[in-house]
């Protein structure tokens, strides 16, 4: 932490005034917030290079639209943790519920415990490291970035995935449509090593060599010739010409 830490008690001040203080802060400022008691949208919309520590569990959309700074939550987080994160880091020590890191475009999200359903849904470049397990349909329609799961992944991992890379150390209950297991090459071990190191204690000393890699089979990218036939047949059935 750099500079004096400004402390906010959400039992005393409004969440809005706290978030405004973060938005007004200059690079290098440090903040602490106590008594979040499950409040929504805590530390949302940070754009400066600041540090925020949240002591307690938060509600929906904590650290949403995050840029540059670092948010650390000592507790659990509900739906939409670090939704649409652009850069910087969001790190929680506990569990996250649904849709952690949804649509994230960059930066790093670390979940120390488990992450619920649809972790990394539509991720577009964010790196996510989960110390525990992820719920069903994680990385649904993922487009870019890395999802690293030190525990297990529930059903339909990577359904309709585009190009993100998924690494799972434990069991995968099932893979979603167009998601397949892929070879782990040296560059993937490098990526894993870098992300596990960045996650620190949350990764529990996991060895990059223990992970399996999953990604897109790229069968859903384009119309195949079969799709064209199907579309033409449908058009003919509808009385038109689809060519």
Task: Pick one of 22, 63, 92, 117: the residue that binds another protein (CB under 8 A).
Answer: 117
Tokens for 186, please give them. Answer: 């040296």
Q: How far is CA 33 from CA 12, 15, 119, 150, 217, in A?
A: 11, 10, 25, 29, 44
Using CB under 8 A as the binding rule, whether residue 102 contacts another protein is answered as no
Q: How far is CA 37 from CA 8, 42, 57, 65, in A?
A: 13, 10, 6, 21
Q: Give the binding range for another protein (CB under 8 A) out of 73-81, 176-184, 204-212, 213-221.
A: 73-81
Using CB under 8 A as the binding rule, whether residue 98 contacts another protein is answered as yes
Using CB under 8 A as the binding rule, whether residue 19 contacts another protein is answered as no
CB of 152 to another protein, least distance (A): 12
Q: How far apart are CA 105 and CA 141, in angstroms?
A: 13
Task: Pick one of 78, 84, 165, 191: the residue that binds another protein (CB under 8 A).
Answer: 78
Task: Pick one of 69, 116, 131, 208: the residue that binds another protein (CB under 8 A).
Answer: 116
Task: Pick one of 97, 146, 165, 216: the residue that binds another protein (CB under 8 A).
Answer: 97
Task: Pick one of 8, 18, 60, 61: the residue that binds another protein (CB under 8 A).
Answer: 60
Q: Give the binding range for another protein (CB under 8 A) out of 89-97, 119-127, 157-165, 195-203.
A: 89-97
Q: Long-range contacts made by residues 28-34, C-beta under 8 angstroms, separation at least 24?
A: 28/2, 28/3, 29/2, 29/3, 30/1, 30/2, 30/3, 30/4, 30/5, 30/6, 31/5, 31/6, 31/7, 32/5, 32/6, 32/7, 32/8, 33/7, 33/8, 33/9, 34/7, 34/8, 34/9, 34/10
CB of 142 to another protein, least distance (A): 18
CA neighbor of 132 nearest in space, from 162, 171, 106: 171
Tokens for 63, please give them. Answer: 């650290």
Task: Pick one of 125, 131, 132, 135: the residue that binds another protein (CB under 8 A).
Answer: 135
Using CB under 8 A as the binding rule, whether residue 57 contacts another protein is answered as yes
Give the dihedral sign, CA 29/201/80/217. Answer: positive
When the beta carbons of 102 and 195 are compared against another protein, the nearer one is 102
When the beta carbons of 37 and 185 are compared against another protein, the nearer one is 37
CB of 96 to another protein, least distance (A): 9
When the beta carbons of 15 and 213 are compared against another protein, the nearer one is 15
Residues lying near another protein in the complex (CB under 8 A) are found at 37-39, 56-57, 59-60, 76, 78-79, 94-95, 97-98, 116-117, 135-136, 154
């Amino acid at each position: 932490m750099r500079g004096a830490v400004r402390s906010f008690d959400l039992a005393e001040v409004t969440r809005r005034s706290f978030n405004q203080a973060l938005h007004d802060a200059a690079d290098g400022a440090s903040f602490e917030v106590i008594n979040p008691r499950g409040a929504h949208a805590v530390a949302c919309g940070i754009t400066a290079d600041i540090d925020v520590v949240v002591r307690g569990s938060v509600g929906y959309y904590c650290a949403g639209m995050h840029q540059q700074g670092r948010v650390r939550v000592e507790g659990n987080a509900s739906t939409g943790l670090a939704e649409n994160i652009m850069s910087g880091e969001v790190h929680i020590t506990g569990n996250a519920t649904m849709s952690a890191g949804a649509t994230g475009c960059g930066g790093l999200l670390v979940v120390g415990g488990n992450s619920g359903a649809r972790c990394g849904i539509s991720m577009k470049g964010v790196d996510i490291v989960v110390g525990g397990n992820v719920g069903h349909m994680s990385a649904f329609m993922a487009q870019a970035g890395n999802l690293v799961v030190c525990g297990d992944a529930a059903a339909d991992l990577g359904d309709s995935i585009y190009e993100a890379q998924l690494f799972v150390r434990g069991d995968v209950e099932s893979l979603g449509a167009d998601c397949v297991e892929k070879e782990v090459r040296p560059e993937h071990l490098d990526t894993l090593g870098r992300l596990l190191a960045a996650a620190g204690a949350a990764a529990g000393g996991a060895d990059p060599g223990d992970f399996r890699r999953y990604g897109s089979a790229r069968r859903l990218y384009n119309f195949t010739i079969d799709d064209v036939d199907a579309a033409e047949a449908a058009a003919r059935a509808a009385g038109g010409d689809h060519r």
